[in-house]
Amino acid sequence: MRHLPTLASIIAVLLATGCVFRIPGRAVPWAVPAYLIAQFFFAVIAWWGLQKADTSGSYLTFYAWSFGSVLLLAVTVTIRMALVHPGALAAFLIVGAATQSAAIASVIYWELLKEYGGNVPAACQIALVQAAVLAFCGAVTLTVTATKVESELWSVSMALGVFWSAIAFLSWGYALGITRNRGIWIHLNNFLPAFLAIIAFAWLAFQLNGLQGEASRQEVVEQHRVLVQE
């Protein structure tokens, strides 16, 4: 079977999604499981495309819709994450991260315009948009790890923040390097995003499963204590 890393990343996302749905109460905002579901379908569609010698119009349509949904939900999660900070600080973080991402994307796009003589390929433009959005999301989401929040939310913020930041740097590198070292960057793009997803989402599933196990043990101990007191 081809492209096993992508298949493994699908399993990792599915495990993380299951663990997120088991989190009690409102420790994690609704946008997080929604994003993970969209990421799961995006990975499935990407894996499907990697098995095909030629990509049909229907595949490209599904890919575009899933790609757009993932980015939209990533932004939704990010804004919700920013709101754990006081209002003024949240606004500052959102504006600052967006400005930084836009500035970097503008510089890279300018270099691509010079490289291609004003006709930048669609693949480079898509990679650039993805990088700008995910760099913004990663920067804001990682700030949550510096605050006092629920352990589940901290784990989600760390996993998503690192994953988004890593994919952003990879996409920027792809946009710049695809013309100079095409073979290398195509090879990296075929397995490295899946490898990063495996690390991020498998770690998230492991962390959440451990937290849920500890919570269950504490609940049993507390129930035993109450029975003894009675």
Q: With 90 as the cut, is the pLDDT of residue 223 above it?
A: no
How does residue 58 score in pLDDT terms, banded at 50, 70 and 90? low
* Residues in Cβ contact with 205 at an 8 Å cutoff, skipping those fewer than 6 apart: 12, 15, 16, 18, 19
- The 10 Å CB-count burial string (b at 16+, else e) for 149-171 is beebbbbbbbbbbbbbbbbbebb
Q: With 80 as the cut, is the pLDDT of residue 217 above it?
A: no
Residue 144 has a CB neighbour count (10 Å cut-off) of 23
Q: Where are the domains of the chain?
A: 4-217
Mean pLDDT of 20-43: 89
Residue-wise pLDDT for 115-154, tens only, equals 888 788 887 888 899 999 999 999 999 999 999 999 999 9
Give the rounded percent of residues in the chain with a pLDDT score beyond 90: 54
